[in-house]
Structure 1
Amino acid sequence: MKLPILGGIAALLLVALPSAALAEDLTFTLTNNSSYAVKSLFTSPADVDSWEDDVFADKYLPAGNYVEVTIGDGREQCVYDMKFVLEDDSEFIEPAVDLCAVGEYTLTDAT
């Protein structure tokens, strides 16, 4: 009698696992066309009120360069807020960027 119950539980797990696998890392190209190096980049889903860890950790993005950035938070999310901390410790926040739609972001002195 326990066999049909265990089989049902196994079937439920098999159905649930593929949906968990759908969450993918979000990768985009970040180009720094500003006059300053970017020493920190914090991201956060637009509907979350706190910043995630620094994407750059101990690295930085010099002016005039670009890098592929991966947000590996496991969410099925496209719209992120981004906070840039520049080498002079100034900060710039860009709210609600749909990174799936654009696939890239360019930081300039005018932004």
Structure 2
Amino acid sequence: MKRFLAASVFLSAQLMVGSLSAGPNQDFTLVNKTGYVIDKVFVSPAHSDDWENDVLGRETMDDGEEVPIHFSRGIKTCSWDLKVVYEVDNSSAVWHDIDLCSVSKISIFWNQSSGQTTAKYE
């Protein structure tokens, strides 16, 4: 019984260490409420010089769609930048320093009268 209990405690400790060393989960759901089709989505560590690969996981994202964004990075940071590129004219919108350790949903909007794209974090 003592060996079983000791093995259980050891296994529990190993699982806790493994989950801590895995780093934060930066996955989120992106909601397109811009009125336009999004062609590409990029996520990079905050203020990085490289956007790397499109993480959309599909060809395009229609207006009104919600898409889960999953990406695996070895970087253990919570602060990320987001860039979306629109299909219609290849223009883009960028947001900096999003805390993806606490944000699970990002909804983006385009305001026609101001000409600005904004984001709401949940």
Higher relative CO (Cα under 8 Å, sequence separation at least 6) belongs to 1
Name the counterpart of 2:60: 60
* Greater mean deviation of Cα atoms: 21-30 or 39-48: 21-30
CA distance in 2 between partners of 1:93 and 1:50 (Å): 13
1:76 aligned partner, one-letter code: K
**Identity within the alignment, %:** 30
TM-score after normalising by structure 1: 0.74
Q: 1:94 to 1:53 in 2, by over 3 A?
A: same
Name the counterpart of 1:22: 22
Name the counterpart of 1:75: 75
Over aligned residues, Cα RMSD in angstroms? Answer: 2.2
Counterpart mapping for 1:1-111 below 5 A: 18=18, 21-23=21-23, 25-56=25-56, 58-88=58-88, 89-110=90-111, 111=118
TM-score after normalising by structure 2: 0.68
Count of residue correspondences = 96
**Runs (4+) off by over 2 Å:** 17-21, 23-26
Partners of 2:45 and 2:80 within 8 A in 1: yes
Partners of 1:40 and 1:57 within 8 A in 2: no
Judging by fraction of residues, say which structure has more helix: 1
